[in-house]
């Protein structure tokens, strides 16, 4: 790059720093590189897609303005995402200020042989789009994902998958992540997709189950068997979100087919759902066992500490755009303590405080926070009870084994506990009667219904049994 272009770029950066202030500059612009300059357009690159979209939506005008003071004929700026490979590529301009490197991760992620041409994440995501992938939210990256006790394992597995190379041994396949609503499944899956594609070695395709059903499967159906294989060959990592919505016999058959084809040829599959594979109703047993055969990780609810960290990171992001926005520590602690439900409500809370603060000009106080987020504070969610837990607790309480409960034995000392367990499964989980029957040694749904009615009738007149059932419920829900 010509020397005068670099000098020009240096002046533009100084101007930018003066207009937006040091903090904003360091957060958003320190890692912008100049790629190319011509008479009408300037082409710059940034390391993440998030940065690209942030700068485009919030600072495009100002950046262009700063450039136009140098070159009045410029009428357009172009931003692209460079790959992590660039972080160790030879520095293009030895005189470039070192701040440009500040904040780059030094962990060698995505390091490739120095000379390899960088593939921009844009082209990678274009590939993702061309394959019919679902849209990605640029904010959902590993950088913005906060790690805590409940998600350490899921995060580590996700990172491992995202950073895998073509030809690497696949460690766990499929990677199956399950958690309740708003606990970060989509965030992790999109981070995998984004990072995987940005590294540029593998094609990662992210699909919601819905997209899989109505886009992918129907597209595959119109192709020949050969074309189908070709399409699959183009995908290194298939990521499917909200697997619990995958329904219908023919969809499942296609899914099973796809899953087998990918796994058998060493391709990675990642799946998220709101429940473990064993609880996915209406799923073919072969698919279920294939799903359970990889690594199944649960993400628990967000602990208070994690909630506090997520809130802090949301405030930090908001402050870049509204530097005067300030949420005092006691307010953050209050929110982290009371909004226990999920990540979406945490985000919602910060958005409301921000809106209130910027629209009314009033500072954020504890009192205002209490008023603004009142409806987000819900009573503690009842714990997700699992059928296995019910079987385990009931078996222990009645001193029988879990396999007794699942067996066909009909002696009185097993029949009653089995009925109680089925009753609890019906009342404490959302599972259907056929599903419960299946989980109790492959029984018919009418057997389950009979057990449920039986126990309902008994607790009405047998106070001792009623107490017993109450106690079991409490044990399971605490
Ligand atoms: P799910 O897909 O499990 O329902 P999402 O991934 O959509 O949940 O998360 C809901 C919201 O909470 C998103 O805004 C997400 O960014 C945020 N969130 C959840 N967990 C985390 C985390 N560990 N770090 C940062 N943000 C999180
Ligand atoms: Mg989701």
CB of 178 sitting under 6 A from ligand 1: no
| Mean local confidence (pLDDT), 364-383 | 79
Q: Quote the pLDDT of residue 93.
A: 34
User: pLDDT higher for 228 or 200?
Assistant: 200
**Does 234 or 128 have the greater pLDDT score?**
234
Q: Rounded mean pLDDT of 54-76?
A: 87
Distance, CA 341 to ligand 1 centroid (Å)?
A: 12
CA separation for the pair 81, 83 (Å, rounded): 7
Residue ranges of E strands in 233-383: 237-241, 268-273, 295-298
Does 181 sit in the ligand 1 pocket, CB within 6 Å?
Answer: yes
Judge whether residue 243 has pLDDT over 50: yes
Ligand 2 centroid to residue 179 C-alpha, Å: 9
> Does position 426 have pLDDT exceeding 80, yes or no?
yes
Cα of 274 vs centre of ligand 1, distance in Å, is: 13
Would you say the CB of residue 316 lies under 6 angstroms from ligand 1?
Answer: no
**113 pLDDT above the threshold of 50:** no
Burial of 390 (0-12, 13-18, 19+ CB in 10 A): buried
Q: 109-113, 157-161, 206-210, 288-292: which has the minimum mean pLDDT?
A: 109-113
What's the pLDDT at 223?
62
Region label for 97, one of left (φ > 0), alpha (ψ between -120 and 50) or beta (otherwise): beta
Which residues have CB atoms below 5 A from the ion given as ligand 2?
A: 185-186
- In tens, the pLDDT along 44-63 reads 998 777 678 778 877 888 89
- The answer to whether 231 and 224 have CB atoms below 8 angstroms apart is no
- The predicted model scores a pTM of 0.59
pLDDT band at 85 (very low <50, low <70, confident <90, very high): very low
pLDDT number for residue 226: 60
Q: Is the pLDDT of residue 438 over 90?
A: yes
Mean pLDDT score, 371-390: 78
φ, ψ of residue 90 to 5 degrees: the values are: -55, 135
- Regarding predicted confidence, which is higher, 84 or 1? 1
Per-residue DSSP letter, 28: I
Report CA(466)–ligand 2 centroid distance (Å).
Answer: 39
Asked if pLDDT for residue 91 goes beyond 70, the answer is no
How much is the pLDDT for 102?
34
**Site to substitute for ligand 1 among 184, 271, 308, 381, most atoms within 8 A of C-beta:** 184
Q: What's the pLDDT score for residue 96? A: 35
Q: 3-state SS string over 59-110?
A: HHHHHHHHHHHHCCCCCEEEEEECCHHHHCCCCCCCCCCHHHHCCCCCCCCC
**What pLDDT sits at residue 50?**
66
Of 348, 308, 302, 347, give the one whose Cα is nearest residue 331.
308
pLDDT at residue 110, rounded to an integer: 31
Confidence of residue 374 (pLDDT cuts 50, 70, 90): confident
Q: Is the CB of 186 under 6 A from ligand 1?
A: yes
**Shortest-distance ligand to the CA of residue 244:** 2
Contact between residue 273 and residue 280 where contact means Cβ atoms under 8 Å apart: yes
Residue 87 has pLDDT above 60, yes or no: no
Ligand 1 close to Cβ of residue 145 (< 6 A): yes
pLDDT score for 116 = 29
Ligand 1 within 6 A of CB of 179: yes
Considering all CA atoms of the chain, what is the largest pairwise distance in Å, rounded to the nearest integer? 92
Point out the ligand nearest to the CA of residue 317: 1
Mean pLDDT value of segment 344-358: 91
User: How many angstroms does the Cα of residue 159 sit away from the middle of ligand 1?
Assistant: 16
pLDDT digit string (tens) for 286-324?
A: 888 888 888 999 999 898 999 999 999 999 988 988 999
The predicted structure's pLDDT at residue 134 = 79
Chain-wide mean pLDDT for the chain? 82
No. of helices (H) and no. of strands (E), the chain: 21, 8
pLDDT band of 382, cuts 50, 70, 90: low
Choosing from 141, 182, 314, 350 the residue with most ligand 1 atoms within 8 A of its CB, the one to mutate for a pocket test is 182
Average pLDDT over residues 268-293: 86
pLDDT at 83: 65
Give the range with max mean pLDDT: 168-177, 186-195, 373-382: 186-195
Q: What's the pLDDT score for residue 57?
A: 75
Tokens at 194, concatenated: 């984004």
183 lines ligand 1 (CB under 6 A): yes
146 CA to centre of ligand 1 in angstroms: 9
Taking the CA of residue 144 as reference, the ligand 1 atom at the shortest distance is 25
Distance 161 CA to ligand 1 centre (A): 19
In the 8-state DSSP scheme, what is residue 27?
Answer: I
Confidence (pLDDT) at 404: 93
pLDDT (0 to 100) of residue 216: 62
| Between 287 and 411, the higher pLDDT residue | 411
Percent of the chain with pLDDT over 90: 40
Q: For the chain, percent helix, then strand, then coil, each to nearest 5?
A: 60, 10, 35
- Ligand 2 centroid–CA 181 distance in Å is 7
In the predicted structure, residue 77 carries a pLDDT above the cut 70:
yes
Task: Give the residue, 130 or 107, on which the prediction is more confident.
Answer: 130
What is the token pair recorded at 294?
């990889």
User: Does 141 score more than 50 pLDDT?
Assistant: yes
What's the rounded Cα separation, in Å, for the pair 373 and 304?
17
- Residue 266 pLDDT: 86
């Amino acid at each position: 790059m010509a020397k005068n272009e670099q000098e020009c770029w240096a002046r533009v950066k100084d101007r930018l720093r003066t207009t937006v202030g040091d903090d904003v500059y360091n957060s958003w612009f320190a890692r912008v590189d100049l790629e190319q300059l011509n008479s009408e357009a300037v082409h710059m690159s940034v390391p993440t897609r998030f940065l690209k979209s942030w700068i485009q939506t919030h600072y495009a005008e100002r950046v262009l303005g700063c450039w136009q003071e140098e070159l009045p004929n410029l009428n357009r700026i172009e931003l692209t995402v460079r790959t992590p490979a660039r972080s160790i590529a030879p520095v293009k301009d030895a005189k470039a200020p070192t701040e440009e490197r500040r904040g780059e991760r030094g962990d060698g992620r995505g390091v490739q042989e120095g000379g390899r041409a960088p593939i921009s994440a844009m082209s990678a995501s274009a590939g993702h789009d061309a394959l019919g992938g679902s849209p990605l939210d640029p904010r959902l990256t590993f950088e913005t994902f906060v790690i805590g006790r409940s998600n350490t394992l899921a995060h580590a597995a996700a990172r491992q998958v995202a950073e895998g190379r073509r030809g690497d041994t696949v460690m766990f396949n499929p990677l199956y992540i399950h958690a309740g609503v708003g606990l970060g499944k989509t965030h992790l899956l999109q981070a995998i997709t984004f990072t995987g594609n940005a590294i540029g070695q593998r094609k990662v395709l992210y699909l919601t189950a819905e997209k899989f059903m109505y886009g992918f499967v129907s597209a595959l159906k119109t192709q020949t068997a050969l074309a189908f294989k070709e399409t699959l060959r183009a995908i290194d990592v298939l990521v499917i979100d909200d697997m619990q919505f995958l329904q219908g016999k023919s969809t499942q058959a296609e899914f099973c087919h796809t899953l087998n084809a990918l796994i058998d040829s060493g391709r990675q599959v990642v799946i998220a759902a709101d429940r473990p594979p064993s609880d996915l109703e209406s799923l073919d047993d072969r698919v279920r066992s294939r799903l359970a055969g990889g690594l199944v990780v649960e993400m628990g609810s967000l602990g208070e500490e994690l909630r506090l960290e997520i809130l802090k990171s949301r405030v930090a992001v908001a402050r870049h755009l509204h530097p005067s926005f300030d949420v005092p520590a006691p307010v953050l602690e209050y929110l982290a303590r009371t909004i226990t439900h999920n990540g979406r409500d945490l985000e919602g809370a910060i958005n409301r405080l921000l809106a209130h603060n910027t629209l009314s000009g009033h500072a954020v106080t504890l009192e205002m926070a209490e008023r603004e987020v009142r409806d987000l504070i819900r009573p503690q969610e009842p714990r997700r009870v699992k059928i296995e837990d019910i079987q385990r607790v009931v078996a222990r309480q009645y001193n029988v084994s879990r396999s007794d409960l699942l067996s066909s034995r009909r002696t009185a000392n097993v029949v009653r506990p089995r009925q109680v367990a089925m009753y609890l499964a019906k009342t404490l989980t959302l599972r259907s009667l056929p599903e419960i029957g299946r989980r109790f040694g492959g029984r018919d749904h009418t057997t389950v219904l009979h057990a449920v009615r039986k126990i309902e009738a008994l607790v009405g007149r047998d106070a001792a049994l009623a107490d017993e059932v109450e106690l079991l419920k409490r044990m399971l829900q605490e």
